[in-house]
Amino acid sequence: MCGIVGYLGAREAAPILLEGLRHLEYRGYDSAGIAVVANDQLHLFRRVGKVKNLAESLNGSLPKATIGIAHTRWATHGVPSESNAHPHTDCTRSLALIHNGIIENHASLRTILERGGHRFCSATDTEVLVHLIEEHLRSADDLETAVRRALAQVEGTYGIAVISTHAPGTLIVARKGSPLVIGIGRGEYICASDPTALAGATRQVIYLSDGEMAVISANGLVIKNHDNIEIDKDVSELDLELETIERCGYPHFMLKEIYEQPDTIHDALRGRLLECDGRANLDGLREVMPRILASRRIILTGCGTSWHAGLIGRYMIEQYARLPVEVEYASEFRYRDPMLDERDVVFCISQSGETADTIAAMRESLNRGALGLGICNVVGSTLARESDAGVYLHAGPEIGVASTKAFTSQLSVLALITLALARERGLTKEQGKTIIRELKSLPEKVSHILEHSEVIQQYAREFQDAENFLYLGRGYGFPAALEGALKLKEISYIHAEGYPAAEMKHGPIALIDRDMPVVVIAPQDKTYEKIIGNIEEVRARNGRVVVVANEDDPWIHTLSDYVIRIPKTLDMLHPILAMIPLQLLAYYIAVLRGCNVDQPRNLAKSVTVE
């Protein structure tokens, strides 16, 4: 999704802005642009494609400036093109503005502005805002007032940064619904839509809340709230090392993140297991635990991969804690007038903590009196700040658009929540200790799978030309199949579907032939015999089956030429292990097909618009 960077300080702005944009590339975008004010003039460059194109096209032609803004755009209104790329300017080219979010009333505002003589150069909703500020500058005393008045007319969401030749030493940023963070360095400020852009630059940050605006100048930083009253904000410490957002020798971030999973699972569990007591210790939930235990049901919500984690979480919590759980897409939940009150608990699951629908689901839950909890990775994200309480994943930045390590950390955290609840609801100490033992062995088992990835590479070569894939599983294996299929389609553009294995007979079986590989998740659990039956059904129709089976399964090789073996664990933790080969299979196939694995076409890392 779109990315914002702004700079004001003593150093040359352009290299810092471009470096910030490079750190935001992982979010997915289709064009990029930069604007600086130098010698009382605005200088603007925009390019379709990568930040690299933009940097090359500048080629020293940008005058030295110490204030500027830069943007990566992910098209919503208007195709990716130079004229639709940000920054946008007003009629007199004295203002430059970058924007994340969507201005919902842009059409009506545009009509009014065009009638008033404003000339538009793009098909974007954003351009309305810069003309609106221009309009208000006619009567306002200063840029800040004009920006404030313009924003008051806007319906929708925004994170913006504005510079102007009228106030050449002022950078204004504001937020409503789209994140904005201000990094404070020595005599300089770097603003961004995502703290990742600040890595290596500063650790001192202020997160703007909705309705707040910051005016930054050589005199310092002034933050005002929605009512135009100056406020004090806490400065937070950003825990982000530069090397954690670099590839460290891996060809792609996605592969690096897949290989980080022994550590990230360990980090999700660290300090949270009370071994001798067979319990989980989740500080973030301690105060709200009585309310969760007294609730009538738990709702797990999220989008994409995080929604899949919720599906597995439901199986875990219902199996062990015997509390009723519902799972719903955040986008559906927020709009369907859900029956929800103070007796309910809603866990919003989100790697980024910035997904627009998930945040809206959290707000809806809180408005209706439910307990709103977050399971998220990004510290200080909107979800983390707005929820009643929650649990962090501690997985470190996830840069690859396709979520990998965040997913297995979400499952690890959901297992901890399950253990914490179950021990209050009748699970014995010994049973608790068994879960802990298995949880603790996960990092080593994941390492073991990663060490034997050659077989997966070999299968990837075999199946790289397939046009369709089917993924099947039962019980815990069903949501794992959905996630396996999602990984493949996201990065390789192969059409892939996940199904509960028993449902195959109700439709997908009609599609099976030699050209459609079927990936079957087949642990030796209570549905083992049934899933073997499903494999036979595929074979009987000449289908080719890739089986993810247990290490010591003695029969499976008689049923398939393509067997990926993984260590045994508890049923509830099996998806964590099964996911590793499925991520690798998707990765290797996508690489063989020449796809851009880290930034797949049309996808965004964090979907901050509806």
Q: Select which of 2, 191, 376, 595 is catalytic.
A: 2
- 2 vs 556, beta carbon nearer ligand G6P: 2
* Least distance from ligand G6P to the Cβ atom of residue 406, Å: 7
At its nearest, how many Å lie between ligand G6P and the CB of residue 441?
26
Nearer to ligand G6P, 350 or 527 (CB): 350
Q: How many other CB atoms are there within 10 angstroms of residue 280's CB atom?
A: 24
**Is the backbone peptide bond immediately before 87 cis, with ω within 30 degrees of 0?**
yes
Helix (H) or strand (E) holding 347: strand 344-350
Nearer to ligand G6P, 331 or 550 (CB): 331
Backbone angles phi, psi at 596, to 5 degrees: -80, 95
Q: On the CB side of 527, how many CA atoms lie within 13 Å of its CA?
A: 19
CB nearer ligand G6P, residue 302 or residue 338: 302
605 catalytic per annotation: yes
Nearer to ligand G6P, 4 or 531 (CB): 4
Nearer CB in complex with ligand G6P: 527/606? 606
Q: Which residues bind ligand G6P (CB under 6 A)?
A: 302-306, 350-352, 355, 358, 401-403, 603, 605-607
Q: For residue 74, give the DSSP letter.
A: -
- Rg of the chain over Cα atoms, rounded to whole angstroms, equals 26
Least distance from C-beta 197 to ligand G6P, angstroms? 17
Specify which residues 329 forms β-bridges with. Answer: 302
For the beta sheet containing 518-522, the strands, ordered from the edge strand earlier in sequence to the opposite edge, are: 495-500, 468-473, 518-522, 545-550, 562-566
Closest CB 333 distance from ligand G6P, rounded Å: 13
Q: Which residue is at the shortest CB distance from ligand G6P?
A: 304
Minimum CB separation from ligand G6P for residue 401, in Å? 5
Q: Measured between alpha carbons, how far is 409 from 262 in angstroms, rounded to an integer?
A: 10
Whether 356 contacts 157, CB under 8 Å? yes
Q: How far is CA 165 from CA 130, 150, 172, 420, 423, in A?
A: 13, 18, 13, 58, 63
Tokens of 510: 């009609």
To the nearest whole angstrom, how small is the minimum distance from the Cβ of residue 352 to ligand G6P? 3
For residue 374, give every residue at least 6 positions away whose Cβ sits within 8 Å of its Cβ, in sequence order, or none.
347, 348, 349, 350, 353, 362, 383, 384, 386, 387, 389, 390, 391
Calculate the alpha carbon distances from 547 to 203, 217, 484, 557, 595 in Å.
Answer: 46, 61, 13, 9, 25
Residues acting as catalytic residues: 2, 605
